[in-house]
Amino acid sequence: MEKQLALQMRGITKRFGSVLANDHVDLDVYRGEILAVLGENGCGKTTLMNMIAGIYFPDEGQILIDGKEVVIRSPKDAFIHKIGMIHQHFKLVDLFTAAENVVLGTESGEKYSLKAVNAQVAQIAEKYGFRLDPTKKIYDMSVSEKQTVEIIKVLYRGADILILDEPTAVLTPQEITRLFDVLRRMKEDGKSIIIITHKLNEVMEVSDRVAILRRGQHVATVNTSETDETQLTTMMVGRRISLNIERTKPVNPKPRLIVEGLNLYNTEGVHVLKDISFTANGGEILGIAGIAGSGQRELLESISGLQPVESGKITFYNPKKDRPVSFFHKSIKQVRALAEQGAFHDRNLNDVTFHGMSNKAVRKWVENGDVLFREDEIMNLRDKDPLEIRQLGVHLSFVPEDRLGMGLVGNMDITDNMMLRNYRKGKAGFLNRKKPRAQAEEIIRDLEVATPGVTTPVRRLSGGNVQKVLVGREIAYTPKVLMAAYPVRGLDINSSYTIYNLLNRQKESGVAVIYVGEDLDVLLELCDRIMVMNGGKVTGIMDARTATKEEIGLLMTKTEERKEEDA
């Protein structure tokens, strides 16, 4: 079958100030195909799409639809040309129903009946295999349902070209499968679908062709069937990079942080954490999976002392400075007895028992100074604010989800952001910027932060570099527990792998790492154990080496579906 051109872009250029977001991009989209647009962050994917959707106006270049040049100056113009875009952030009225949102803003001039619209919406949903109740209000909807409303909204307006900006970022594996089925059905119906993503496996799964952008330029468009993930990444990044996470076996994991029966109500009185219990071990990465808003943020914030909890225990085991055992005050018999009680450990924190060893061997070992008293401090972290936790000497690092609103101060430079954790050091009332500046320079050098200098405000840095600064600071603080919430969200492949490697290095040095993530493939590859949260509860803790994506996906949504069945 001869493929028919739907949309052509010729020499599209867009500048923002001195930044060239799109540089003479040529792109073709055919009828009845799914085109994936792939590229690192800031490569201009979204900008390009926004120009088709009428949100930006190109500085140069032409857009042709069905071979005719068109001018798209507003989203309305885009609709006239049957182009619809589904944005990353939904633009829906919470208090309206699905159908009401769908008709909102359409001007047919006729009196419209909500009944007819409901029927039409239901019809569209059925045609493409969506699951949606047109009379359901938006505030009652899950993220996936909201996305469905957005898609139906553009279909209702008769869009033939649909643009989806990172539609899978917020979905569970099952929902992604369902979405892809719908997209395939739309394709069969002759629609053109452009999907922006940076997940390679999804590109391979759903698309017919892939267009790769790099630094605002169109690198190539290839047929999906003729390429593979390695080739795509190479084109995307501009050089070969390895996409493997080197996961080592945990060395002697020991409990570092124990949470028992934690309950938390938020300021609105909603029960957001329900009886959470888990243990994070030193030398291990504990992943936390779950749909966004299942209580992950609240959990990390209550551990770090930012939210007062209702009930439960948060206990921290602090391996203290080692003190060698000596025979000065004790006989060999006493030493053997203490060893039986688990009072000693060796340099690797392994329990020391002297089973089957001769007194001579025991004596030699002890005198070598390799047997150490176990003097772990057990500290209660509950009801302590971040400052009190610090003053206890607990090295708890936290990379929050909200980087510039919480972890860093956007208008301050890197040096001043380094100081956030330890500016109080020293008795004098004056700040000492010497050490923080050295630290800032170290992080810039070691983590290859792209910045004009230490005095650049961090908000001027790109997302990946902001995150490097934040993670770098939290690691510089030699944590015993490192909690990271969505540390690679919005980061390009290269920076993501830098972060994974940093976390792995922390794990290898004995830190208990807690990683809250959304990409299940990464969770399975990076973590040692995965805890799944769902509606404020822990629905399972599994071994990441044996678990499957589907199992985790089920645990993420289990109770929700049961509720639906009940109702």
Partner 1 sequence: MSKEKKSEVREPLIHLSKRTTISPLKAWTIRLIAIVLGLLVCGLAAFLLIEKLQQNPERIGEFYQTFIRGSFSTSRKLWKYLKNTSVLLVISLGLTVAFRMRFWNIGGEGQTLVSVLGAIAVDFYLGGRIPEWILLILMFFAALLSGALWGIIPAVFRAKWGTNETLFTLMMNYVATYLVSYFLVIWVPSGSSSLGKLKYGKLPTLYNEQLLIVLTALFLTIALYIYLNYTKHGYEINVVGESVRTAQYVGISERKVIIRTMILSGAICGLAGYLIAAGSDQTVTTNSVGGQGFTGILVAWLGKFNPLAMILTAGLIQVLNQGAGQISQDFGVDNALPNVIVGIVLFFIIGSEFFINYEIHFRGHHSRANARKEAAK
Interacting residues with partner 1 (CB under 8 A): 15-19, 57, 59-60, 62, 69, 71, 73, 304-306, 385-390, 398, 400, 402, 405-412, 416, 419-421, 423-424, 429-431, 460
Output the smallest distance, CB 471 to partner 1, in A: 15
Output the smallest distance, CB 474 to partner 1, in A: 11
Output the smallest distance, CB 164 to partner 1, in A: 27
Complex with partner 1: residue 15 or 382, whichever CB lies closer:
15
d(CA 24, CA 12): 5
d(CA 259, CA 278): 5
Output the smallest distance, CB 69 to partner 1, in A: 5
Output the smallest distance, CB 451 to partner 1, in A: 14
Complex with partner 1: residue 200 or 300, whichever CB lies closer:
300
Complex with partner 1: residue 116 or 431, whichever CB lies closer:
431
Query: How many other CB atoms sit within 10 Å of the CB of residue 417?
Result: 24
Structural contact between residues 315 and 381, judged by C-beta atoms closer than 8 angstroms? yes
For residue 348, give both structure tokens.
Answer: 């690797």
Output the smallest distance, CB 359 to partner 1, in A: 51
Residue 445, φ and ψ in degrees, nearest 5: -75, -50
Output the smallest distance, CB 439 to partner 1, in A: 15
Complex with partner 1: residue 15 or 313, whichever CB lies closer:
15
Output the smallest distance, CB 80 to partner 1, in A: 16
Output the smallest distance, CB 10 to partner 1, in A: 8
Complex with partner 1: residue 37 or 53, whichever CB lies closer:
53
Complex with partner 1: residue 243 or 387, whichever CB lies closer:
387
Structural contact between residues 328 and 367, judged by C-beta atoms closer than 8 angstroms? no
Output the smallest distance, CB 406 to partner 1, in A: 4
d(CA 153, CA 99): 9
Output the smallest distance, CB 459 to partner 1, in A: 10
Complex with partner 1: residue 73 or 323, whichever CB lies closer:
73
Complex with partner 1: residue 144 or 304, whichever CB lies closer:
304
Could you report how far apart the first and last alpha carbons of the chain are, in Å?
47
- Is residue 567 classed exposed, middle or buried when 0-12, 13-18 and 19+ CB atoms within 10 A define those classes? exposed
Q: How many CA atoms lie within 13 A of 447 on its CB side?
A: 29
Provide the residue type at 185 as one letter: R
Residues 6+ apart with CB under 8 A from 513: 280, 284, 285, 286, 481, 482, 483, 484, 503, 506, 507
Output the smallest distance, CB 412 to partner 1, in A: 7
Complex with partner 1: residue 212 or 514, whichever CB lies closer:
514
d(CA 219, CA 25): 9
Complex with partner 1: residue 202 or 416, whichever CB lies closer:
416
Output the smallest distance, CB 72 to partner 1, in A: 10
Return contacts of 62-69, CB within 8 angstroms, 24+ apart.
Answer: 62/8, 62/9, 62/10, 62/11, 62/12, 63/7, 63/8, 63/9, 63/10, 63/12, 64/7, 64/8, 64/9, 64/10, 65/6, 65/7, 65/8, 65/161, 66/5, 66/6, 67/5, 67/8
Complex with partner 1: residue 385 or 550, whichever CB lies closer:
385
Classify strands 311-318 and 254-265 as parallel, antiparallel or unpaired. antiparallel
Q: Is 496 helix (H, G, I), strand (E, B) or coil?
A: helix
Distances (CA, A) of 491 to 178, 464, 486, 496, 498: 26, 5, 10, 6, 10
Structural contact between residues 511 and 283, judged by C-beta atoms closer than 8 angstroms? yes
> Of 157, 100, 152, which Cα lies nearest the Cα of 128?
152
Complex with partner 1: residue 7 or 212, whichever CB lies closer:
7
Structural contact between residues 284 and 318, judged by C-beta atoms closer than 8 angstroms? no
> Of 78, 85, 88, 120, which Cα lies nearest the Cα of 102?
120
Complex with partner 1: residue 396 or 527, whichever CB lies closer:
396
Element of type H or E holding 520: helix 520-526
